[in-house]
Amino acid sequence: MYTLDQVVPWGRSFDEYVRMFTLSDEDLGRTILGCGDGPASFNAEATQRGHRVVSCDPLYRFTREDIERRIAAIYDQVIDQARRNADDFVWGQGIQDIDELGAVRTAAMQTFLADYERGKRDGRYLDASLPALPFDSRSFDLALCSHFLFLYSGHLDEPFHHEALLEMSRVAAEVRVFPLLSLGGTRSPFVDGCVARLVAAGCRVTIETVQYEFQRGGNDMMRISRGVRPS
């Protein structure tokens, strides 16, 4: 059973999404699905800019107040962990130090919280989760997955990753996943197997280096698009 005390809500900003996923103006003009967005401000900020984004996450079954309390409960723990492991991060790309990290994440999560109730009413924040999404095939032009798949390779097994990536490829014409590292800072052992599985299913897959790197060594993105299924 999914409970709030299992969640470590930690949100990233619109600008970080743009850099993580190399989002162009053309990309932002497409219909976008965010999988596992949590308390990121991407949806809120994109909507303010006139873009069309739907975010899905089981976090969204909870109230604004519940999420806000959970953020407050884990905040010091997350910051302390980042301070102890400061050498694992690349400082200077808009986040200079631990204090600025806290400020940037807090601002993103406050933007999310301010938008949350309206976004739920508008159908932009949906209680749904991988590997089974409640959307028709080809409902979206682009699906993004930030800091969920591959990052939690120690908690979610390889078959889960296979199913999740194939499901995202079903509902969107293109999929982008970032980063490809696990929590330990090493490349996920599932990357190569997932690429092989996707190619066998008729997808085109590339691994691309992006300009965003905060987790040291974490500057690779997986791009998946539908091809022709092999006969």
pLDDT surpassing 80 at residue 122: yes
Query: Which pLDDT belongs to residue 231?
Result: 36
Question: What is the C-alpha to C-alpha distance for residues 63 and 201, in angstroms, rounded to an integer?
Answer: 38
Other beta carbons within 10 angstroms of residue 88's beta carbon come to: 14
* Assigned token pair, 11: 């949100």
> Which amino acid would we find at residue 137?
S
Q: How many CA atoms lie within 13 A of 41 on its CB side?
A: 18
Q: How far is CA 119 from the centre of its chain?
A: 18
- What is the model's pTM? 0.94
When the pLDDT of each residue in the chain is averaged and rounded to a whole number, the result is: 94
Residues 6 or more apart whose CB falls under 8 angstroms from that of 135 comprise 33, 171
Query: Which pLDDT belongs to residue 227?
Result: 65
Q: What's the pLDDT tens digit per position in 209-230? A: 999 999 999 999 999 998 644 4
Query: Which pLDDT belongs to residue 94?
Result: 79
> Which amino acid would we find at residue 132?
A
